[in-house]
């Protein structure tokens, strides 16, 4: 049974003028046609703008590429899910019976989407300035310990740079299998690189994650052979 939203309001440190916005934000599509998908769409853009503006202001010597990588590391789904867990967001989600039985309140994608929806709800209930403050408060620890640009390069970027430094053609990624239900899909991706005869395969819950795993395996093979 969902907890009373008073606890969630306290965790967010924001008092809604219209709590209907918050109810909509924590309602998954499995529970109602009136769900959080539109608010998630709105919140995604608000989050990106809030983080972009903050990074731009505090990192005045950072180049565009570094700012982009930092922003990506902060707004990605896994990070949002971590923040959602910190405020026990899963305890307040309104889910359909199927999602409840399958543990949807713990699923990273559902948590991340709901948190973005909450940002959208706060924006509609107040304004961008107020919403940005809530976002930066939630991200306080992450923003106080930002990694360097080199530390946050993803595996595909690292592989590309490794190959370019050795004048080797860039890798090609191909989805060779997609399995599972729409909300629990598993992607299998093959990475092909000149000089590696065997197929290198990565698996993940999204095409991007599968590509990243395949890139990591390829990079490890190349480094071991060098």
CATH 2.60.120.650 fits 6-152, yes or no: no
Closest by CA position to 92, among listed 112, 76, 109, 114: 114
How far apart CA 182 and CA 71 sit, in angstroms, is 28
Q: Calculate ∠ Cα 18-19-21, nearest 5°.
A: 85
- Asked whether residue 63 carries a pLDDT value surpassing 80, the answer given is yes
CA angle 85, 80, 56 (to 5 degrees): 135
CA 98 → CA 26, 31, 32, 206, 209, distances in Å?
16, 9, 13, 22, 26
pLDDT tens, 166-195? 999 999 999 999 998 777 789 999 999 988
92, two tokens: 């307040």
Note the pLDDT of residue 224.
Answer: 80
Q: Which residue has the higher pLDDT, 224 or 55?
A: 55
| 155-225 has CATH 3.30.590.20 classification | no
Share of the chain above pLDDT 90, in %: 73
Is it the case that residue 10 has pLDDT exceeding 90? yes
Digit-coded pLDDT (tens) for 122-161: 999 999 999 999 999 999 999 998 877 666 678 898 899 8
Q: What is the pLDDT of residue 1?
A: 45
pTM of the model: 0.73
In angstroms, rounded to a whole number, what is the distance separating the alpha carbons of residues 131 and 43?
A: 10
**Burial degree of 33 (CB within 10 A; 0-12, 13-18, 19+):** exposed
Q: What residue ranges do the domains of the chain occupy?
A: 6-152, 155-225
Kindly state the average pLDDT of the residues 94-122: 93
Catalytic residue set:
44, 116
Contact 168, 194 (CB under 8 A): yes
Q: How far apart are CA 11 and CA 130, in angstroms?
A: 15
Q: 67 with 54: CB under 8 angstroms? A: no
> What per-residue confidence (pLDDT) applies to 2?
62
- Span 205-217, mean pLDDT? 92
Q: What is the pLDDT of residue 83?
A: 97
Residues forming a β-bridge with 204: 187
């Amino acid at each position: 049974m969902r907890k009373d939203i008073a606890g969630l309001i306290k965790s967010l440190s924001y008092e809604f003028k219209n709590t209907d916005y918050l109810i909509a934000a924590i309602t998954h599509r499995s529970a109602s046609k009136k769900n959080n998908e539109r608010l998630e769409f709105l919140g995604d853009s608000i989050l990106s703008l809030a983080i972009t503006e903050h990074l731009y202001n505090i990192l005045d010597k950072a180049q565009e590429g570094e700012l982009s990588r930092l922003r990506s590391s902060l707004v990605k789904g896994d990070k949002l899910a971590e923040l959602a867990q910190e405020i026990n967001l899963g305890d307040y989600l309104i889910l359909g019976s199927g999602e409840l039985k399958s543990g949807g309140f713990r699923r990273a994608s559902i948590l991340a989407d709901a948190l973005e929806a909450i940002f959208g709800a706060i924006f509609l209930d107040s304004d961008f300035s107020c919403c940005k403050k809530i976002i930066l408060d939630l991200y306080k620890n992450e923003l106080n310990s930002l990694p360097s640009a080199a530390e946050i390069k993803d595996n595909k970027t690292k592989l590309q740079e490794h190959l370019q430094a050795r004048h080797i053609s860039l890798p090609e990624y191909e989805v060779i299998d997609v399995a599972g239900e729409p909300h629990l899909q598993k992607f299998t991706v093959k990475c092909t690189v000149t000089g590696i005869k065997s197929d290198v395969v990565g698996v993940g819950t999204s095409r991007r994650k599968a590509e990243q795993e395949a890139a990591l395996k390829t990079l490890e093979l190349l480094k071991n052979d060098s």
